Structure formats: structure tokens, C-alpha cells
Chain A
Amino acid sequence: MEFAELIKTPRVDNVVLHRPFYPAVEGTLCLTGHHLILSSRQDNTEELWLLHSNIDAIDKRFVGSLGTIIIKCKDFRIIQLDIPGMEECLNIASSIEALSTLDSITLMYPFFYRPMFEVIEDGWHSFLPEQEFELYSSATSEWRLSYVNKEFAVCPSYPPIVIVPKSVDDEALRKVATFRHGGRFPVLSYYHKKNGMVIMRSGQPLTGTNGRRCKEDEKLINATLRAGKRGYIIDTRSLNVAQQARAKGGGFEQEAHYPQWRRIHKSIERYHILQESLIKFVEACNEQTHNMDRWLSKLEASNWLTHIKEILTTACLAAQCIDREGASVLIHGTEGIDSTLQVTSLAQIILEPRSRTIRGFEALTEREWLQAGHPFQQRCAQSAYCNSKQKWEAPVFLLFLDCVWQILRQFPCSFEFNEHFLIMLFEHAYASQFGTFLGNNESERCKLKLQQKTMSLWSWVNRPNELSKFTNPLFEANNLVIWPSVAPQSLQLWEGIFLRWNRTSKYLDEAYEEMVNIIEYNKELQAKVNILRRQLAELETEDGMQESP
């Protein structure tokens, strides 16, 4: 397919662009295969340079021959284009619609994008599983790398290399895979160096209604327990939901077969419930005219912060088991690719100082989301403005980022990155020039040859220039476990994402700049004092030598 077929009118003059916080501009609108560009041809700058894949939905309306297209983006921005001429407007609208919903991944922009920067470090090789495992292997010898899934045959959504207990061989893993949803047998997610406890994750056990059991499964997870110790299984579904899953062949670990494990049920929502929550939440935030009561009731009805609280609470619980109870944890929901990953990754943010650094967080995203098989392609296909009722979209990753932001707010000096870093990840998960978030799992990414054909997000982010934008000036590494408060009074609306286009942040940005200035100035002064002290010390010794003879 040629993009040209989709672009009936590549250029329209005298288009007026309206966007939040800027005066309307008139200019020329251009459509390319991947971008929508508007330029007033002044100062050689483009006023708008929008990826088609960032477009979530469009509305069009006409007054006489003046057409208006309202573009709703996946990053929640809403812009409006006034286009003279009905035919041009209809053409543009249908082109945008077609170009923003390409059915083949290989036509997406990352396959066409050529970086304008020099690649210092290839992001595709920045976080290899082998390297990650080395971080553990110095501390423990109870685990090993397994290549059982090398051809993606045992579990299509797992990466080729996983970490499993040393005492369990690949043959056993194959058997366990048949007993777990999607073949997702229990694998290591996190090793707590402080006390050797671990977080494992998996899919639900396929017990069904007649209570099937799998000795290898029991043996596998028991292999992670110290003698006489008990572990915890955190099921991210309510007991009710888990029981219903049995009817469809799923289920949960029976006490009788797993006597050394205590099972805790939490209830983290999934799929369309989350998607609807996002839609309602963004809708509430976008409405400027709501009175107070209406706003608060809409905020409540969206349930967004309820989900945040539930996810954070479960993550705290998992971290508590590890750090305070000294017990290992197995976490799963149904498939183990959504709520499970939210919990395992947040627990690591709480427990592991490294995951609060920029590289550590990138590694975490790579390990616990990309490699672990969170289906980004499906989940992020549409955002808050979609009308289509496909059931695979869900803001699972955004909820995770929001939770991280909540912890960041409570521990503003414990993270090496700032809010902008999280916002950037959100944007790229939904629309990007980089290949990192394409595909649903490693198997798909391999088939697409993303490493060869696209650029990794990390190659770009990890350049000093970019990093400086994402660095938190207040960061001071601390090796502690950080326990966030999950009381509703402590959870806040993430203004940087949800009110970003609805209110000007000018004064807040200026205050932030001032803060950075104070910190920079402090560093400067300290450096100067050090230089002067050295000078003085030198002078004093010179004097001393003059006097000493």
C-alpha cells in the first residue's frame, strides 16, 4: 500500500489552528504518510507536527463551506483545525482517519524514522537479560537462566531467557507451562538482596472445576522457600472472580496442594473497566464548566483514583511480605500480563533503590513490562477518546506510571528522574517514532525485526542532552525501602498528565525553574568556596615556608 493513495489532498492553505494556551494561527496544512504538519511559514518553525498514530479520534463539522476538524490525541490534547472548503476538509478528515489507524505495524512511523542524532549507545542492547541476571548472581546461586523458551514454543508471551530456580530443570518447566495460563510458568521477577526473598510471577493455575493439580508446579514454587518458611500467593483478583475463573478452566492454588503458601486475594480491575475509567476521568478533567459538586462526583464516578489506590495497596502488600515478613511472594491474576506486572514492578520501586534511578527504571520497564509480555500494541491502541468497543485497550501502563508518580510525590528526593520522564514514557507508549513499544511481546518483536529496522527509545533517552531534561535536581540516592501512604487524602490527581492541556502551568513551571536555579546556585557557590579554600591553603603554606627557615 502506498501512503499516497490515502492522501487525497496533501496540502491546504489558510487553515486556522486552535490549540490550548496559544493564540490561533493561520497557516498551511500538510499531510505526510506519518505526520500532520501546520506551518504559518514564519520564523521557519512549524506550529504543529503531529504523529498520525497519536490521533485517538476526530470529529468534523461544517458551517457553510468552512469545515472544522477536531483532533483528539492519545496524550489527551485536543486541537482544532478550521479548513476552508468542504471537499478539502472531508479529504483531510478521511486521510487522517485512515493514516491514524493503519492495520499493519510495519507501516508505522518507527519503520521509517531515521534519527537525526548520533547513537552513543544502542538501546536495544542496554538491558540484556543476561546482564540483569548478573546483578543477582553475585548474591545467590539458587537461580539460573533458562533458555527453554528460546523458540517461544513453551510460552509465546515470555522472552527467550527467563530466570528460574536452579533445582528445576527445563523438562519440569515445560510441564508447569501446560498447567499455567498462556504457558506462563512461575519465573523470578525480583530478588531482595537484603534477605534473599523473591517475587515470582506467573499466569493463573489451570485447576478447572475438578481441581487439577501439577506436582511440578508445586515443586517449582516450593523450591523457592527456605526450610520451614511459608510464602504468600497474591492473587490480583477477588476470591469471587478467581472462583468463577475455574469454570473457564482457570483457577487458583488450593490450600491442600500448596500447604506452605498463604493465598491473599486483592481486586485490581482489568480491561474495559479501566478503559471506561480513563474515558470518564479524562472527560471530567476536560470539562472546565463543572461546578464543584459535579466535578467531585465525576471524579469519584470515574474510579481512577480507586484503581490507583488498589494497585498501590497490593504492591505495598507484596513489598511488606518480602521486607517485613521475610517471606517470598508469587503474584498472578488471570493471564499475568496486566495487574500482575503493575504489582511486581511497583513493589520493586518500593523495595529496590536501583529501580528509582533513570537506568534502573528503564531496566524495570524493559524487564517487567516489555520482556514480561505486556501487550502494549493492544492496550495502547486507543486512549481516552476512543469510541470503538474493542475489548483489548486498557490504560494498564498509564496506571502504573500514575502510581509511580504518586510515590514520587511522596518521596520527591528519592527518584533520579522527574515527572517529565514519566510523561515521556506515557507518550511513547501510545505514539512514538521509536520501536520500543511496538508489538505485544518479544516473540512479535523478533518477527518484526524491530532491533534491525527501528530505533530504540533508550538510544535517544540516554543521551546526556535528553537525560538532563528528565533528571530530578533534588535526587539524593537512598537505600531505604520507601513506604508510600495510600490514604485517599494522600493520593492526588496527576496534573502533569490530566490537566496538562486544561490549565496553564506557567506559574508552576516558573517556580520549578526557580527551584532548579537555587540548587544550581548552591552547587556553584560550593565549588567556588572550595577553590578559594584551596587558594588560601596554598598561600598559607607559601607564607609558612617563607617564615619557617
Chain B
Amino acid sequence: MEHIRTTKVEQVKLLDRFSTSNKSLTGTLYLTATHLLFIDSHQKETWILHHHIASVEKLALTTSGCPLVIQCKNFRIVHFIVPRERDCHDIYNSLLQLSKQERLQGWQLIDLAEEYKRMGVPNSHWQLSDANREYKICETYPRELYVPRIASKPIIVGSSKFRSKGRFPVLSYYHQDKEAAICRCSQPLSGFSARCLEDEHLLQAVSKANPVNRYMYVMDTRPKLNAMANRAAGKGYENEDNYSNIRFQFVGIENIHVMRSSLQKLLEVSGTKGLSVNDFYSGLESSGWLRHIKAVMDAAIFLAKAIMVENASVLVHCSDGWDRTSQVCSLGSLLLDSYYRTIKGFMVLIEKDWISFGHKFSERCGHLDGDPKEVSPVFTQFLECVWHLTEQFPQAFEFNEAFLLQIHEHIHSCQFGNFLGNCQKEREELKLKEKTYSLWPFLLEDQKKYLNPLYSFKSQRFTVLEPNTVSFNFKFWRNMYHQFDRTLHPRQSVFNIIMNMNEQNKQLQKDIQDLESKIKRHKNKQTDGILTKELVHSVCPESPTLKTSLCFKEQTLLPVNDALRTIEGSSPADNRYSEYAEEFSKSEPAVVSLEYGVARMTC
């Protein structure tokens, strides 16, 4: 509302675009929170929705007033002449703000400061540091970073100089009950022997910020060999001798290049026509894809266990600390905190560990014609790990598979601003918040589609997830990698049915309430009318035949549901089923469903 400076301007002229004689209507212009309204002298109304406004233009002042041209997305163009220039200016500014406002509000949906508050920081051990407020220490980190209270600025600055790309250890997740933290950073520039006292101090500060456990884990998510090779380039990993109280651990997740070619192999295999079972499994094996997924999952489990079982804080890094580190930190948090398993919480998690900490979405997703070697399905792997968790814990997640697929769709779609750019600084420079929309409000609007009907939010059983990573628990994610190959999917979706039934149950509950109140009203009316009834009675005795003749028919209440469940039903409510029905009605031979692998009738 604060954007509306003038709500009403009188004596405004509305020009006819195509009239040669500059014909016009005079009337009053009103500005509301949602619409621009013009009422002319004949009381005819013209409503323009702010959302429809594509551009507003103020032309040079004329003798009759100040012209204001508004172009709408629905191709309407209106040309006003406002008598006083000041009024025109006010309206112009208000309209600009109002048409943008929705965008900005969308960006406010996820507030990371709020999220850190939810985790319980700042507190007596952790504080917000302003060291990176101007992106001076680390360009790829967000402005607001949480560090141990006892870590002074010189220590932070010193440590950042000893870390690849200046990505010094900062807080990623704080576990309130255990008072333990997940921290993240990049590899140290240790080479073969270099050390940095500030960095050592900072790590000590992290472990001291945990009052329960004195030692902390340092997880290098790379394979040991890769980490050692990095030493030759003046990088490397922490030397346990130099840091007090650290327990160093490699977890062996491969780098972006290995992941890229792994996915490529996987797609090659799964895309083969007439694929045999053996080729499929040997291809699945040689692609290594599930091995990598398991490695990420195992790392996250290690992290979660360190916190839950040992009460220890953990510092996670890889090389630059924006790929594997993001995977492990976010997945670890998801195992520990049921909030991240809700729709909103999952958005927060992605904003925090992926977007704000500078996972290079633009490069990893190949948004622009960049270096093809920078493209890698790191985020896809994260989503797949989450999917595997939803398979093992079908009731632990508020969202469903469609939600994951939709997010995956949009990291590549460039339709929303969230995943554009490689880090927060870049996004600010691109003015994404002003120029683009945020994905999250759009997903929330469609929330119904993404709800898991089996989600049990009440139970506390799922506070910490302990997945089983025996190899046989990992499956090829058909609905991701064959999303668009309908013939490979189950033809009836239990999930959709249950989802619809859940919705319907809500409606039925409402119906019951309505009916009960109606019945109550009737009964009250009857007791009121009992006297009259007795009077009437003598005239018109209640006839039992009349009553039964009404012949109440049991109503079929649920046409939607029935249509959904029968594959013949072409319910518009569910595309999938109607498409399926079409498939059946095709008169062609069974090639529709049999083309994949079934022997053609060649004899």
C-alpha cells in the first residue's frame, strides 16, 4: 500500500488510439492495490490488473497535460492524459512499484536469517560475522555468515587466505539439541608442508563452540588420491598433526568430471532401443552412477552419525567446497532435521546450502554457452539421494516425487531467477530479485500437486533418518531418467489415487459438517413447529406410503474417484489416466506398449 501515493485523479482523459481527431473520454482514474480503474463520464469502467502491466511510459508534457502510456501483456494499450504533471508522476511511480511488487514479495518467501534463527543461532557460541558483508573476503560466499563467537576477524581473514577461493570454515547447520555444528569450507592451501595458524585457530574455535565434545571431524569428501594430487598444486588437506583435536576422514566422492561422464554413460545405456536386461545392468554397473549416489549417501550418513552418536561437530570440504560439500552438508542436514523434509524446509535447504553458498548453478547446468567441462549433474545427484530416502521412508517427507522432478525441471528452465548465476554476488549484480521471479511461490501455489498423501507429520519417529545403504536398496530412478517415456511407467499410479482420495476425504468431512448442521436446523425447526404440526396432523395424517415412495437412492458420490481408478475412465482431472485410456483405444497392434523389447512379429 505504501506504493500508492495518489488513489484518485480527476479530469483524466483516455485517448482513443486509432481516432484521427484525438477523440477522448474524460473521467476519473483510481488506483487500488490490485487494479488501475478508469471511470468515464458515462460511468463506463475500464479495469486494468497490475499483473497485466508490461510497461508504463511517461511521454513529454503537452498543453493538455502529461501523457501516460500503459502497455499490457494482454495487448491492451491505454493512453491517458493526466492534467497535472505531479499526479502523473505519482501514478507512474506507483504503477512501476506495484507491477514489480509481486516479484519482490516472492523473493521474501525464503529468509535465511530466519532459518539460522530457527536453528538457534546466533547464540553464546555462534555469531553473525560481518567480515564478508561487502564480499571482500570471499566472493562466492553470501554476505551473512555465521562463525564461532571466539573467532576474531583477523583469524577469519587469515584462514580465508589459506583456503581455496577464500572459502573459510563457516556454519552450515547447527544442531540445537546436540550443540554440534556442520561447518563447510574449501580445501586448505597446505601443499606438502604449509600451515596457517589462523586456520588452525579457526578450527579450534569451531570445536570449542561445541561444549559437549572436544574433538571434531574434518571430512574431506574427495577420494584420498585426488586430495593428495592437489598437494602438488599447493592445495591439499589438513595435516592432523597441525590441528588439535581433529579427526580427519576421506569419504571418496568423485569429482564433477567423473560424475558428468557417469551420467552420460547411464543415459547412453538406458536410451538403447531393445535393451536386454543384462546390457542394462552391466551398463548400470559400468556407468558407476549408483555407486556415486551411494557414496554421497554414505558420506551424509557418516556426517549425521558423527553428530547424533558422538555429539561431534563436523567440518566438510572438498576442493572448492561448492559441489560435494553442498551435497553432503544438505543431505546430512536433511537426515538430522525433519524440517528440511517439509516442502518449505526443502526450499530453505536448497537456498541455504546450494544457492547461498555458491553452488555454480549456471555453470553446472550449462545455462549459457560456457565451458562444457564445468557442466555436472551434482544437484541432480542430490535430488536422487533425496528420492532414495523417500523410497525408504515413504512417510517421512511432506513432498512427493513430482516435487523433486519439478525442481529439477527448473534448475535448467531459466524461467525463474533462483538458479541463475553462480553465486550470490553475481545474482545481486544481475538484479535478479527485481528482474525475475522466484520459483518457490509458484511451487507453493501448486502445493497440492506436491504433497505426499502418506506423510505423517505428527510422529516424532522420523526425527533422524537412518537409511540403509546396502547396495540392493539403490535402484535406477526410472521416473527421472525416463520421465517422458510413458510406456515404461506403471499404468496406474497408487500415489495419485491416494492423493485424490485424501483430498476427497477433506471434502467429505466438510460435507458431513454441512449436512449435520442442516439436519440440526431442521430438527430445531420441527420442535418449534411441533404445535403447528399437531394441528396439521388431524388434517393430513402422516402417511407411511408417502414417505417410502420417496425412494431414497443411494448416491454415487465419487465420480472423480471412480474415473481415476478405472483405467477406461477418461477423467479430465488426471491427464495420465486419460492418456492411458487413449492408448488402449488405439486400434493399432500392440506396438504401443510392446515396442520396447517385445519381439516384433517377424516370421
Residues in A lying within 8 Å of B, measured CB to CB: 232, 262-264, 266, 285, 288, 290-297, 299-300, 303, 305-306, 308-309, 313, 316-317, 319-321, 323-325, 409-414, 474, 476, 478-493, 499, 502-504, 507-508, 510-511, 514-515, 518-519, 521-522, 525-526, 528-530, 532-543, 545-546, 548-549
Contact = CB atoms under 8 A, between A and B. Distances in A.
* Interface majority SS (helix, strand, loop, mixed), chain B: helix
Contact of A480 (B280, B508, B546, B567): B567
A320 B497 contact: no
B589 A325 contact: yes
Given A489-B482, A533-B515, A519 B603 contact: no
A313 B597 contact: yes
Q: Which 8 A-B pairs have the closest CB atoms?
A: A295-B471, A488-B280, A511-B394, A300-B281, A483-B593, A296-B285, A532-B515, A525-B508
15 contacts: A291-B291, A293-B285, A411-B491, A413-B497, A488-B279, A488-B281, A490-B488, A522-B501, A525-B505, A530-B557, A536-B518, A539-B522, A545-B542, A549-B539, A549-B540
B550 interface: yes
Contacts of A300: 277-278, 281-282, 285
A534 B552 contact: yes
B536 A474 contact: no
B395 A514 contact: yes
Contacts of A510: 395
A546 B276 CA distance: 76
A534 B557 CA distance: 13
B268 to A, nearest CB: 14
Nearest to A291: B471
B463 interface: no
B526 A542 contact: yes
Given A296-B284, A306-B278, A525-B508, A536 B515 contact: yes
Contacts of A541: 546-547, 550
Contacts of B567: 411, 413-414, 478, 480
A548 B277 contact: no
A526 to B, nearest CB: 5
B558 interface: yes
B593 A266 contact: no
Contacts of B476: 489
Given A486-B596, A536-B519, 19 more contacts: A266-B599, A292-B474, A296-B285, A309-B276, A313-B598, A317-B601, A324-B589, A325-B589, A489-B476, A490-B489, A503-B468, A504-B468, A511-B395, A515-B494, A519-B498, A529-B515, A534-B552, A540-B522, A549-B540
Interface string B273-294: 0011111111011001011001
Given A478-B566, A532-B519, A546-B529, A484 B475 contact: no
B559 interface: no
A481 B590 CA distance: 11
Contacts of A480: 567-568, 584
Given A482-B491, A488-B275, A489-B478, A543 B526 contact: yes
A488 B584 CA distance: 22
A528 B593 contact: no
Given A300-B282, A317-B601, A414 B492 contact: yes
A232 B536 CA distance: 80
Given A297-B285, A483-B594, A290 B471 contact: yes
A525 B561 CA distance: 14
B452 to A, nearest CB: 10
B519 A539 contact: yes
Given A507-B392, A522-B508, A536-B515, A489 B473 contact: no
B525 to A, nearest CB: 7
Contacts of A479: 568
Most buried by B among A294, A491, A522: A522
Given A474-B565, A507-B393, A483 B590 contact: yes
B256 to A, nearest CB: 20
A474 B497 contact: yes
B241 interface: no
A533 B557 CA distance: 11
Most buried by A among B472, B488, B590, B601: B472
A89 to B, nearest CB: 31
Given A303-B278, A486-B598, A507-B394, A262 B603 contact: yes
Contacts of B291: 291-293
Contacts of A549: 536, 539-540
A264 B546 CA distance: 69
A294 B601 CA distance: 37
Interface string B494-525: 10011001101100110110011011001101
Nearest to B602: A264
Given A409-B490, A411-B492, A515-B498, A530 B473 contact: no
B601 A502 contact: no
Contacts of B555: 530, 533
A410 B491 contact: yes
A490 B478 contact: yes
A325 B591 CA distance: 12
A292 B281 contact: no
A504 B395 CA distance: 15
A317 B470 contact: no
A529 B511 contact: yes
Contact of B473 (A263, A503, A519): A503
B501 A413 contact: no
A262 B600 CA distance: 13
A299 B547 CA distance: 69
B586 to A, nearest CB: 10
B359 to A, nearest CB: 25
A384 B226 CA distance: 43
B548 to A, nearest CB: 10
B492 A511 contact: no
B7 interface: no
A387 B554 CA distance: 62
Most buried by A among B395, B522, B557, B590: B590
B290 A292 contact: yes
Contacts of B552: 533-534, 537-538
Most buried by B among A481, A489, A518, A539: A489
Most buried by A among B290, B505, B516: B505
